[in-house]
Structure 1
Amino acid sequence: MLTLYIINTCDTCRKARKALEERGIPFNTHDLRKDGLSASLLEHILERVPLLEAINKRSKTWRDLPQEAKDNLDATSARALLLEHPTLLKRPLLEVDHETMQVGYRDGDYDQLSG
Structure 2
Amino acid sequence: MTITIYGIKACDTMKKSFVWLDQHKVEWQFHDYKKAGTNKKDLQRWIKAFGWETVINRRGTSWRKLPEDTRASMDASGAISAALQNPSLIKRPIIEGNGILEIGFDPAHWAELF
Q: Same fold (TM over 0.5)?
A: yes
Tell me how far apart the structure 1 counterparts of residues 5 and 76 of structure 2 sit (CA, whole Å).
24
Tell me how far apart the structure 2 counterparts of residues 57 and 46 of structure 1 sit (CA, whole Å).
14
Displacement of 1:112? 2.3
The CA RMSD over aligned residues, in Å, is 1.6
1:1-115 matched pairs, under 5 angstroms: 1-98=2-99, 100-114=100-114
- Residue 63 of structure 1 aligns to a residue whose secondary structure is helix
TM-score (norm 2): 0.88
Instruction: Give unpaired runs (5+ residues) of structure 1.
Output: none
Tell me how far apart the structure 2 counterparts of residues 108 and 96 of structure 1 sit (CA, whole Å).
19
Instruction: Give unpaired runs (5+ residues) of structure 2.
Output: none
- Residue 57 of structure 1 aligns to a residue whose secondary structure is coil
Q: Identity percentage over the alignment?
A: 28
Which protein has greater RCO, CA pairs closer than 8 Å, 6+ apart?
Answer: 1
Point out the structure with the larger helix share.
2
Aligned residues: 113
Displacement of 1:20? 0.5
